[in-house]
Every structure is written in structure tokens, then in C-alpha cells.
């Protein structure tokens, strides 16, 4: 039973707010901590953060620390926007349904399949790249396979890792969301333990001690000689000078933000879409989970920046990243200066080094299933709307969505081959964020106009009471979120530094939208010929 | 024959009105409501004796002044699928202490609402030629059937074989066991027996038969519900789901092979599934938003069902 105690205006007597009888689906609640864990995994400081922070040298004057602080705090608007949509339209939720209901089926389909299906093909080699530089290459080097890092960093290695990534993601989907959820929790707690170990190691190790350990380990792992620590910094000194850790050049720092969205744009993945006979508390809980994950991850990111600066040296950390991107010929060559590997190099024991990287790999394994999870859901939803053939929603007796997985794996392997063997494609990493940002923008527009476009849904929701200066909170939050999305889109399309405003990148992304339009158009024609009117899907029945 | 099927409106007056208008909207010959038509909550609106009324909806506290505001609030409660009632602090305190009394009040409001709905159906559907079948679900008390039977234009589906333009429709709102110990649930063997008794009455071949069974077949994706902890919390914040449908329903479908089966019960599991030649449909439910999720299905002279679409009205 649910009961509340009155408070505020008119209070003065105990009030039973609602009498609930026995009925299916009435649950007590859900744990913010659990939702927080999923959101933390989605933002993922280790896989997404530590891999994109290495791009900071492309904007030398940008303040990496401030860029994640500013964007992290600002993206609270995203949490409020999505929590509002979930509150107004729970269970049926998701970008596809929200956009379809508010903006129309065609717009919903095109934006959702481009952002939650097609671009995920490209995320597969991006995930694989992270798998290589944070897991396979370091483990190979520590295990004594000296050719390993070169293999994994090369074309064949990226392709092989892409196939492994696609198969791993498929395996997690095949195991079912229930099992994967358990795996994710184990990975989360293991990964957090790894982070704590690294934090303690960085705290107790001096910079000179680290430099010495680094020189020693780099020689064993990568065959360097002499003072590799100093050589790393010297190698890029003519081409690149990083800004100080606390310095704030606002313009350059804002330029870094569209890069950082690769890391922190995903808190909405932790949202909980279920709930009945409750209301405002679920809205707040979703904000706590998403916003909490965003702020906590940002805070942990900042703490690690400070620890990097203390122990690695801020210049060394950035110079190593710059060297990785070819600003000079650093002693580590094409090996990624993965912070966990740098920390592991403090150990002299290869076993401890191996174990640390292995524990930190849980951040990858707990996260890799997400690459196909959303896409299989969108494929199902569009098949149920008869846009895609009925067959693609097929599942085996054990619940494996074989057609949906095929529609993910086959194109992603093709794109992985392009990514691996045509180096141009590797520079379009931010396309992966850009296309989803466009989808989020569609959802944001839907959220902003929801109170006027679907007043009956909005007014019946628990968020209808929340206003700022007389405007619906969801509208204010959505406009706020929209501002950062539009800013990032303008930057991506106009600033060369992100590497995505070129013809091939446009073909890659544009092709996805053309494909989405084509599928939608063809489905309309085919279904009409079959006597099925797709206009019925979202047509509102009068309620008089 | 075109069928419009919706389910699990759970007391939402908006959804019921949309359901009655659905035949005209979708040009359907038959409209079928699959069960769970009654609401889950009773919402007190408390007179404080000083000219103000107090209530809480969706955990948002409201202070209402004057009849107009109270009436508007009552409408909002009804749209949500709950039953509003006016009371004072003393009566509320007594109700809170006496479970039997508030259950009786609940039944009174619930049955009165179903009666109003049936009257509205008679008003809207009389003389239209539209067939309307309602089969209460596991959340609906048995007394609901009597009220449905009083309607002139609404046919009760539970346990019966109805002829629909050359097709036979068998319906049941009974489900396998749930954690909520609801009104129409039983163990799988008893459910299998119940379905078998209905199927025995069918004289049509399978391709001219439709099952409307509230509970979806097990393991079809139409029955994935959030996993619960022992404390009835959503496990893993709702990210973990498991199949909760009925094995008896699945076996009946696989054994008999009707052309079409219609289900509800699990609001989150909107979708379709083929079991052999049978098309199984669960349109899901978004009753809280006043959105009537449904399915428009064209039956074509005993052929395999191919023309269908899930709708969000």
C-alpha cells in the first residue's frame, strides 16, 4: 500500500493518499543505486573517457579538466529532459516512441534507426579500437607477446577485435538482459575496485618514482631504452605544449566539449522506464540516477586528472597522448598511454600488471553488450509497427533475436573492415556521437513541445506541476539540452579539428539517413500494396 | 472481417471512450477488449472543513478550492484510471483503519464505473452493427462479469465460444499465478483444463478460430516482465526482465493452432509472435497516459493472418 503524510499548505491531519487494491504490476519501487550503476557504465570514464581524453592535444589550449566539468554539469539538463519524458510516457518509452508520438512516425523512424541502429554498426569498430588499446594490446605486451601490440594496433588486429566485439555483444544479447544485468553488476564492482587500486597507487607514488618505474617497465614491455619518460615529453615539445591543468581558456575549452560528448552524453541509458501508481518520486529518482551518475563520473574524472598531474605529471600525460597521435616520435610508438597501463607500470611484477589491466577490462566487458542492446529494441519496435518485415522481430525458443542480431552483425563487420583497412574511417570516430546527438535533438524537440503537442499526456503526468518562470520544466530542460546539442553539431560541421566535416564522413552519415528514408518510403509503398495502412499506427482516436 | 483489439485499460475512462470510438476510427467490424478493465487505486479527496479540499495524485499534493477545481481534479483522476471519492478526515481515518470497509468502497466505485461504461457503450454502439466483446482479466473481480452481461451491445467473452462472421472466438481472462494473488489466477494445470474445456466447444477448423486469452504464451517475448525482488522492488532498476507467461496457454496454441490469438496482461511486452501458423498479438498498454494501444487485424476467409498493424491511438 502507498501512503503519504500531508505536508505544506493545508497540512494538519494525517492523510492516506491512495488506496491500492491487489492488482498485477504494482511494485514497491526500484533502486536508484542500480539505475546509477547502469548510467555510470554508459558514461564509462574508463572506456569512453580515458580513450577520448587522448584527443585533447588537438585543441592544445583547451582545458581538459574544465571541459568535462562544464559539460558534465550542463548535461544535467539531459537528465531532467529524459526523466520528464519517462515520467510522461513510461514503459512505452524510448527515443523512437517519444519522437513518433510527438513529431510523427516518419521523423521518429528516420532519427531513431539512424541513431540507435545504423550508427551502432560504426560503434562496433570504435568499441574494438578501445578493446585493443585498453585490453588486448596491454595484456599482450605484459604477457610477453612483443608483437602483440603492433598486431592489435594494426589493421588485422582492429578487424579481428571488431569481430570479437560483435560476437561478444551478440553473446550478451543471446544470454538475455537478465544475465547481462548480473554480469554488468559484477563488472561494475570489480571495475570500481580497480579504480580504487589505481587511485591509491597514484596517491602513494611520487612523480620521480613513477618516472623511474615507467622507464623500467617501458623497456620490458615495449623495448624502449634510456629515459623514456623524458623522451616522451621531448618528442612532442616542438609541436605541442599542453595547457596547465587548472588553466581556463574558455573558447578553446568550449571547443573541447563536442569531443567530450563522446564520453558523457549517455547518462540516459541508465533510466528506468517502469512504474505504476507512483509518480513524482520516480521522476526525481531518474534524475538522481542519471544526474548522479553524470556528476559522480565527472568528479571521479577530475580526481583522476589531479592524480595524473601529481604522479604522471600533467605535461607527461598530455605529451604521451600527443605522441600517440603522431605529434612526434615518442618512445611508446603507436602504443596508447592508457592510464591504467601507466599505473600498472608502477608494479615491477608482470603478474600484478596483468591483473590490474584484467580488472580494469571489466569496464569494457560490462559495457560491450550495450552496442547491440538498444539497436535490437529499435529493430523490434519498427517491426511491430510493420515498417520492417515481421520476420526481423523473430526470436528463437531461447529468446535469441537472431534476425535483429544478424542485422547488426553483418553491416558492422563490413564497416569494421572499412575502419580497419581504410585509415580515413578511423578519423570519423565522432560521427558515432554526432548521429546519436541528432537523434537526441529530435527527442529534445519532442520533449520541449510535449506540453502543447500532447497536452492530454503532459497534463496527466506527474511532471505537469513542475514549472520554471511559468514555463514547463521539461521544456526549459529540453531547450537547455538542445543548446549544447546544437552547439556541438555546429562545431562538428564547421570545425576541422573533429575530423568529421569532410566528404567521406558525410557520405558515411548521410548514407545512413538515406537508407532510413528509403526503408521508410519502401515500407509505406509495400504495405499499401498489401492493404495495410501504416497511417493507423500513430493516428489518435478521438476520446469524446 | 476487421478486428480491433485492445486490452488492459485499467479504469482509464479516456481509453474506454477511445475503445468505443475505435471501430469507426479503424473501420473495424468487431472490437474486442482483452481484460483488466478495472482500476487499481481509490483516491480520496478530503474536505478540510475550511473550504479547501486536499488530495494527492501521482505523489503531487493538490489543494483544491471550490467545486470547479474539485470536479476537474476528479476528471484527472478518472482519466488516469483511478477512482476518486470525496471524504473528510474522520471518515478517511476510519477507512484507513478498516480494510474491509475501504475494500467495499472500492468495489462500489469500481462496479459503478463499469456500469457507467456499459451504459456509454449501449449509447454509442446501439444500431451501428459493430460487435463489441469484453472479457475481464485477472485483475477484474468476478462481479464485473454480471455488470457486463447487463449491457445490450457488449458481449461477455469469458468461457464462451462466440461466432464472429464465420470465425469462432473463445476467451478467458484467467492467468497463471502472479506475485499479486489476483482475482482470476490459478496454477498451470487448472488453467490448461479451463482452456481445454473451451477449446472442446469449438466446431470450426483452427484457421477459422481466434483465442482471446488474457495471459500471453510463455517465452514468446509477449510475456517479458520486469524481474522483482522478494520485497517487490524492480530488480536491477527494471533493467532485468524475464518471461512470465503461461505454459498452458502456449501448449493450447501450439496444439490447436488457431489463426489468431490475442493477449494482454504484460503491458511492457507489446509485440507479435508466430507460433506455427498462429499469429499471437500483445498490443501492450499505456492506459495511464490515456493512450489506447491496440491491434488492427484483418481476417481473410480462413487464410493465415498477414494484414495487421499495432496501433497507438
In order, the DSSP letters of A74-131 are HTHHHHHHHHHHHHHS-SS-SHHHHHHHHH-HHHHHHHHHIIIIIHHHHHHHHHHHHH
Instruction: For residue B21, give the nearest of A101, A289, A542 by CB distance.
Output: A542
Instruction: Compute the distance between CA of residue B182 and CA of residue B179 in angstroms, rounded to an integer.
Output: 8
All residues of chain B having their beta carbon less than 8 Å from the beta carbon of residue A530 are 306-307
**pLDDT reported for residue B231:** 83
Task: Give me the interface pTM, i.e. the ipTM.
Answer: 0.86
pLDDT, tens digit, 9 for 90 and up, residues B241-263: 889 999 999 999 999 999 999 99
pLDDT tens digits for B70-86?
999 999 899 888 999 99
Which residue is closest to A540 within chain B, CA to CA?
Answer: B313
Of A3, A273, A456, the CB nearest to B238: A273
Facing residue for B61 by CB, picked from A8, A384, A536: A8
Would you say B173 and B35 are in contact if contact means Cβ atoms under 8 Å apart?
A: yes
Q: Which of B154, B160, B164, B189 is nearest to B173 (CA)?
A: B160
Question: Which residue carries 581556463 as its cell?
Answer: A248
CB atoms closer than 10 angstroms to residue A220: 16
The four Cα atoms A76, A91, A109, A516 give a dihedral, to 10 degrees, of 90
Under an 8 A CB cutoff, do B95 and A16 touch?
Answer: yes
Q: Identify the bridge partners of residue A189 per DSSP, sorted by sequence position.
A: none
Best probe of the B interface among A4, A12, A18, by most B CBs < 10 A, is A18
A186 touches chain B (CB under 8 A): no
CA of B200, closest CA in chain A: separation in Å? 28
Contact A101 B58 (CB under 8 A): no
Kindly report the average pLDDT of chain B as a whole number.
93
Q: What would the pLDDT profile of B142-165 be if each residue is shown by its tens digit?
A: 999 999 999 999 999 999 999 999
Backbone angles phi, psi at A261, to 5 degrees: -65, -25
Give chain B positions within 8 Å (CB) of A16: 44, 92, 95-96
Share of chain B above pLDDT 90, in %: 78
Interface touch A6/B180, C-beta < 8 Å? no
Write out the three cell numbers for A311.
Answer: 604522479
Q: Do A34 and B219 touch (CB under 8 A)?
A: no
The predicted structure's pLDDT at residue A166? 95
The strand pairing partners of B224, in sequence order, are B243
CB contact under 8 A, B288 and A460: yes
Burial of A518 (0-12, 13-18, 19+ CB in 10 A): exposed
Q: Which residues of A touch B181 (CB under 8 A)?
A: 22
pLDDT at A272: 65
DSSP string, A458-493: HHTSTTTT-EETTEEHHHHHHHHHHHHHHHHHHHHH
Cα–Cα dist A52/A70, whole Å = 16
* Residue indicated by cell numbers 520541449: A448
Nearest to B41 among A18, A393, A399 (CB): A18
Provide the grid cell at A268. Answer: 540516459
The Cα–Cα gap between B259 and B208 comes to 6
Cα–Cα distance between A43 and A47 in angstroms, integer?
Answer: 9
- Three-state DSSP class for B26? helix
Cell numbers that stand for A47 in this block: 572506456
Alpha helices in A385-421 (DSSP H): 402-421
Min Cα separation A436/chain B (Å): 21
Asked whether the beta carbons of residue A460 and residue B26 sit closer than 8 angstroms, the reply is no
Looking at residue A276, what DSSP letter applies?
S
pLDDT over threshold 60, residue B232? yes
Determine which of A23, A389, A465, A538 to mutate to test the interface with B (most B C-beta atoms within 10 Å): A23
Residue partners of A185: CB distance under 8 A and separation at least 6: A34, A37, B236
User: Chain B contact for A470, CB < 8 A?
Assistant: no
Cβ pair A298, A73 in contact under 8 A: yes
User: Phi, psi at residue A160, to the nearest 5°?
Assistant: -60, -45
Q: Which residue does chain B place closest to A180, by CA atoms? A: B240
A113 Cβ contact list (under 8 Å, min separation 6): A96, A378, A382, A516, A519
Cβ pair A213, A346 in contact under 8 A: yes
pLDDT of residue A9: 41
Contact B241 A461 (CB under 8 A): no
3-class secondary-structure state, position A322: helix
Q: What secondary structure does DSSP assign to B3-15, as a single string?
A: EEEE---TT-HHH
Report, in angstroms and rounded to the nearest whole number, the Rg of chain A calculated over CA atoms: 24
Q: Which of A228-242, B8-22, B269-283 has the lowest mean pLDDT?
A: A228-242
Point out the residue among B106, B274, B286 whose CB comes nearest to the CB of A91: B286
pLDDT of residue A10: 41
d(CA B12, CA A88): 16
Q: Give the model's pLDDT for residue B71.
A: 95
Dihedrals φ, ψ of B3, to 5°?
-110, 135
- The segments of chain A whose pLDDT lies below 50 read 1-13, 277
Do B308 and B40 meet the contact criterion of CB atoms below 8 Å apart? no
Amino acid at each position: 500500500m502507498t501512503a503519504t503524510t500531508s505536508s505544506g499548505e493545508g497540512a494538519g491531519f494525517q492523510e492516506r493518499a491512495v488506496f491500492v487494491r491487489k492488482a498485477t504490476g504494482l511494485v514497491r519501487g526500484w533502486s536508484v543505486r542500480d539505475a546509477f550503476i547502469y548510467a555510470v557504465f554508459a558514461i564509462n570514464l574508463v572506456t569512453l573517457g580515458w580513450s577520448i581524453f587522448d584527443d585533447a592535444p588537438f585543441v592544445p589550449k583547451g582545458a581538459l579538466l574544465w571541459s568535462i566539468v562544464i559539460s558534465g554539469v550542463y548535461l544535467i539538463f539531459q537528465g531532467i529532459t529524459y526523466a520528464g519524458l519517462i515520467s510522461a510516457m513510461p514503459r512505452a518509452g524510448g527515443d523512437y516512441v517519444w519522437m513518433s508520438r510527438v513529431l510523427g512516425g516518419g521523423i521518429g523512424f528516420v532519427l531513431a534507426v539512424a541513431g540507435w541502429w545504423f550508427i551502432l554498426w560504426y560503434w562496433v569498430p570504435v568499441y574494438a579500437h578501445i578493446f585493443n588499446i585498453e585490453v588486448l594490446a596491454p595484456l599482450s605486451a605484459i604477457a610477453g607477446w612483443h608483437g602483440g601490440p603492433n598486431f592489435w594496433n594494426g589493421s588485422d588486429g582492429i578487424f579481428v577485435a571488431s569481430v570479437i566485439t560483435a560476437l561478444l555483444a551478440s553473446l550478451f544479447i543471446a544470454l538475455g538482459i537478465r544475465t547481462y544485468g548480473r554480469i554488468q553488476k559484477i563488472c561494475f564492482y570489480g571495475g570500481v575496485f580497480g579504480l580504487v587500486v589505481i587511485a591509491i597507487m597514484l596517491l602513494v607514488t611520487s612523480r620521480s618514482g613513477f618516472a623511474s618505474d615507467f622507464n623500467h617497465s617501458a623497456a620490458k614491455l615495449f623495448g624502449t631504452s634510456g629515459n623514456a619518460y623524458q623522451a616522451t615529453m621531448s618528442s612532442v615539445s616542438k609541436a605541442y605544449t599542453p595547457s596547465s591543468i587548472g588553466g581556463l581558456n574558455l573558447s578553446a575549452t568550449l571547443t573541447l566539449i563536442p569531443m567530450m560528448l563522446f564520453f558523457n552524453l549517455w547518462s540516459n541509458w541508465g533510466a528506468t522506464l517502469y512504474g505504476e501508481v507512483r509518480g513524482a518520486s520516480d521522476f526525481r529518482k531518474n534524475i538522481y540516477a542519471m544526474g548522479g551518475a553524470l556528476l559522480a563520473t565527472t568528479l571521479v574524472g577530475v580526481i583522476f586528472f589531479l592524480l595524473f598531474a601529481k604522479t604522471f605529471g600533467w605535461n607527461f600525460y598530455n605529451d604521451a597522448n600527443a605522441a600517440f597521435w603522431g605529434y612526434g616520435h615518442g618512445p611508446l610508438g603507436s602504443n596508447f598511454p592508457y592510464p591504467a597501463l601507466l599505473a600498472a607500470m608502477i608494479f615491477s611484477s608482470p603478474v600484478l600488471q596483468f591483473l590490474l589491466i584484467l580488472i580494469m577490462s571489466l569496464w569494457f566487458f560490462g559495457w560491450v553488450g550495450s552496442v547491440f542492446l538498444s539497436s535490437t529494441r529499435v529493430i523490434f519496435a519498427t517491426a511491430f509497427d510493420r515498417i520492417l518485415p515481421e520476420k526481423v522481430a523473430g526470436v528463437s525458443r531461447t529468446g535469441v533475436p537472431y534476425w535483429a542480431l544478424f542485422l547488426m552483425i553483418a553491416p558492422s563487420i563490413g564497416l569494421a573492415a572499412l575502419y580497419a583497412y581504410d585509415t580515413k574511417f578511423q578519423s570519423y570516430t565522432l560521427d558515432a556521437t554526432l548521429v546519436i546527438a541528432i537523434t537526441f535533438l529530435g527527442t529534445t524537440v519532442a520533449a520541449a513541445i510535449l506540453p502543447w503537442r500532447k497536452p492530454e499526456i503532459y497534463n496527466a503526468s506527474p511532471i505537469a506541476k513542475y514549472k520554471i518562470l511559468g514555463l514547463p520544466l521539461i521544456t526549459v530542460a529540453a531547450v537547455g539540452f538542445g543548446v549544447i546539442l546544437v552547439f556541438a553539431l555546429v562545431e562538428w560541421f564547421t570545425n576541422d579539428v573533429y575530423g568529421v566535416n569532410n566528404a567521406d564522413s558525410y557520405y558515411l552519415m548521410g548514407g545512413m539517413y538515406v537508407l532510413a528514408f528509403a526503408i521508410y518510403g519502401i515500407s509505406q509503398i509495400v504495405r499499401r500494396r498489401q492493404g495495410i495502412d501504416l497511417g493507423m499506427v500513430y493516428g489518435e482516436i478521438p476520446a469524446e | 472481417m476487421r478486428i480491433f483489439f485492445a486490452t488492459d485499460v485499467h479504469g482509464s475512462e479516456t481509453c474506454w471512450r477511445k475503445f468505443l470510438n475505435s471501430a469507426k476510427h479503424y473501420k473495424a467490424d468487431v472490437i474486442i477488449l482483452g481484460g483488466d478493465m478495472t482500476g487499481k487505486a481509490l483516491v480520496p479527496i478530503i474536505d478540510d472543513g475550511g473550504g479547501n479540499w486536499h488530495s494527492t495524485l501521482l505523489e503531487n499534493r493538490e489543494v483544491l478550492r471550490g467545486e470547479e477545481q474539485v470536479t476537474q481534479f476528479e476528471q484527472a483522476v478518472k482519466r488516469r484510471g483511478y477512482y476518486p471519492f470525496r471524504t473528510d478526515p474522520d471518515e478517511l481515518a476510519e477507512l484507513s483503519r478498516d480494510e474491509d470497509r475501504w475494500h467495499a468502497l472500492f468495489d462500489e466505485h469500481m462496479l459503478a464505473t463499469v456500469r457507467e461504461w456499459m451504459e456509454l457503450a449501449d449509447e454509442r454502439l446501439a444500431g451501428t452493427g459493430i460487435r463489441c466483446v469484453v472479457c475481464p482479466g485477472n485483475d477484474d473481480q468476478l462481479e464485473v462479469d454480471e455488470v457486463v452481461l447487463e449491457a445490450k451491445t457488449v458481449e461477455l467473452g469469458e468461457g464462451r465460444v462466440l461466432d464472429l462472421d464465420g470465425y469462432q472466438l473463445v476467451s478467458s481472462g484467467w492467468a497463471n499465478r502472479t506475485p499479486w494473488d489476483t482475482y482470476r489466477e490459478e496454477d498451470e494445470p487448472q488453467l490448461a483444463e479451463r482452456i481445454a474445456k473451451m477449446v472442446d466447444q469449438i466446431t470450426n477448423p483452427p484457421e477459422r478460430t481466434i483465442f482471446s486469452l488474457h495471459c500471453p504464451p510463455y517465452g514468446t517475448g509477449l510475456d517479458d516482465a520486469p524481474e522483482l525482488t522478494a520485497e517487490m522492488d524492480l530488480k536491477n532498476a527494471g533493467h532485468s526482465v524475464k518471461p512470465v507467461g503461461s505454459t498452458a496457454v502456449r501448449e493450447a496454441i501450439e496444439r490447436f493452432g488457431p489463426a489468431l490469438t490475442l493477449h494482454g496482461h504484460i503491458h511492457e511486452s507489446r509485440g507479435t509472435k508466430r507460433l506455427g501458423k498462429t499469429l499471437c498479438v500483445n498490443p501492450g498498454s499505456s492506459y495511464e497516459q490515456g493512450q489506447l494501444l491496440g491491434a488492427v487485424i484483418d481476417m481473410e476467409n480462413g487464410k493465415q493472418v498477414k494484414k495487421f498493424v499495432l496501433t497507438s491511438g
